[in-house]
């Protein structure tokens, strides 16, 4: 069954909504980029500490170098770290070797080529529509046909993000059968504030109505 991550968690209220909906993971964003969902390292740490032991906490960050995420991980203490930016696999590998938690690498569909033919290192690779500086959260849906062709030969678990919402996530899961799907703005009532009904609908749709 496809796993579900709800990203851009900004408050205990939203964390409770996400946990009640039965999501597998939640993301806290700590970045220098402009985002209505970004948190200070201290606030991100507080949300991670407040979460249930049965949900995975993911620190989402945009370091200049992947290895620079080490200090931030030490502060926030997440279960996993998601590293945005146009970083090559060897730079991600440096972070993997330096960090004590699993690493999710992020790329757009064209960057999946670098992870084909047995390339390993990160625990998973997330496919998103990225900004020029490598940030996500654009709200643009990835081309499922392009992704389907690009993930051929990628041995790592693939997470699909980009423009997902309750209305389309079922079709994306049916087409790609990904390891997980990731959403932020598609389940919000306002930027940085989750809508309980949309979060629940997204989780249900991603799991085929189960």
Which structural domains are found in the chain, ordered by start?
Answer: 3-206 (3.20.20.70)
Residues 122 and 108: their CA atoms lie apart, in Å, by: 16
The whole-number pLDDT of residue 180 equals: 98
DSSP-based three-state secondary structure for 94: helix
- CA dist 84 → 43, 136, 192, 205 (Å): 20, 7, 19, 26
Give the pLDDT of residue 96: 96
Does the predicted TM-score (pTM) go above 0.85? yes
State residue 134's pLDDT score.
Answer: 44
* Residue 182: predicted pLDDT: 97
The answer for residues whose C-beta is within 8 angstroms of residue 158's C-beta and 6 or more apart is 124, 125, 126, 127, 151, 176, 178, 179
pLDDT for the residue numbered 59: 98
Q: What is the pLDDT of residue 126?
A: 95
DSSP reduced 3-state for 3: strand
- Please, what are the averages of pLDDT over each run of 10 residues along the chain (210 residues)? 97 98 98 93 98 97 95 97 92 95 92 84 88 55 84 91 94 94 96 97 90
- Note the pLDDT of residue 136: 53
């Amino acid at each position: 069954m496809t796993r579900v991550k709800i990203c851009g968690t900004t408050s205990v209220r939203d964390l409770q909504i996400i946990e009640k909906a039965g999501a597998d993971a939640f993301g806290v964003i700590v970045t220098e980029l402009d985002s209505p969902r970004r948190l200070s390292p201290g606030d991100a740490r507080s949300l991670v500490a407040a979460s249930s032991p049965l949900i995975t906490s993911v620190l989402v960050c945009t370091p200049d170098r992947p290895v620079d995420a080490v200090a931030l991980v030490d502060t926030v203490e997440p279960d996993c770290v998601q590293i945005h930016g146009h970083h090559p696999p060897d730079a991600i590998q440096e972070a993997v070797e330096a960090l004590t938690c699993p690493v999710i690498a992020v790329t757009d569909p064209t960057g999946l080529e670098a992870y084909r033919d047995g390339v390993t290192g990160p625990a998973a690779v997330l496919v998103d529509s990225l900004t020029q500086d490598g940030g996500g959260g654009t709200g643009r849906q990835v081309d499922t046909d392009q992704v389907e062709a690009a993930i051929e030969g990628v041995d790592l678990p693939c997470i699909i993000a980009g423009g997902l919402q309750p209305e389309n996530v079922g079709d994306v899961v049916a087409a790609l059968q990904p390891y997980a799907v990731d959403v932020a703005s598609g389940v919000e009532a306002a930027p940085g504030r989750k809508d309980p009904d949309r979060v629940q609908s997204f989780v249900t749709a991603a799991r085929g109505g189960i």
